[in-house]
Chain A
Amino acid sequence: MSVGAVSVLRLVLRRELTLSFRRPGQLLQPLVFFLIVTTLFPLGLSPQLSLLRDMAPGVLWAAALLASLLSMDGLFKGDSEDGTLEQLVLSGQSLTLIVIAKTLAHWLVSGAALVVVSPIVATTLAVPVEAFPIMMLSLGLGTLTLSWLGAIGAGLTVGLRRGSVLLSLIVLPLAMPLLIFGANATDRAIGGESAAGALYFLAALCVFTTTLAPIAASVALRITLE
């Protein structure tokens, strides 16, 4: 029975989301981590609001990156442990499509969730409400790009011992441009200036990564599984 591309996407997406929601506790972990890491900075530095506002873009972005990466190694690990991953690779369906669906599903429950929670966290860092839309847009683009990069890393490290540390090690340097532009967009929004330049570049990065990363991730899976 030949299955069209959209059906593959829909089926895998639905499966991933169903599986994720079976363990609601696990869904909350990246969000709580985000909150905890953000709390570390005022505790470590100072509760002075003006200082926090200056730090906010960097702290938010670093915390979001780390929180997203935390759950990234679970992208393929569950399926690899019970043999589903091999079935998917052998299924004859486009592995790239499957990777796209899995990564999107993962982003929806981690990165996108972080974006939704970010206003709360931003308020604790004295970020003005006017900056929220740009902040959330930049975080959305950034976490999505990060999910694609993380998919490549997850594909390369699935099944390795201490794979999650290695995953962060290889993905974080690649994510530094994201951090630079995303934090800058947020910073300009806080300052009331136009964040257009940084946002355009962030969007360009996102499109570039969205186009190429799924292919790279599926190549990575074939390398590690064969």
Chain B
Amino acid sequence: MTVGSFFAMGGYARYVWPCFALAISILLWNVWSARRYHAQALKRVRRALAMAGSNGS
């Protein structure tokens, strides 16, 4: 099997490769989205703490 035939996927390349690309993208999106969500939550907590800190002690 050559590199060329590997990429050609027996003629089905334009269906197979987008599927795998989409799968990787969705996996990556999930990680990115979860990280962002966590970061936003952390930011909100820190902001609330800062405001309480400046108001209280």
The short answer to whether A and B are in direct contact, CB under 8 Å, is no
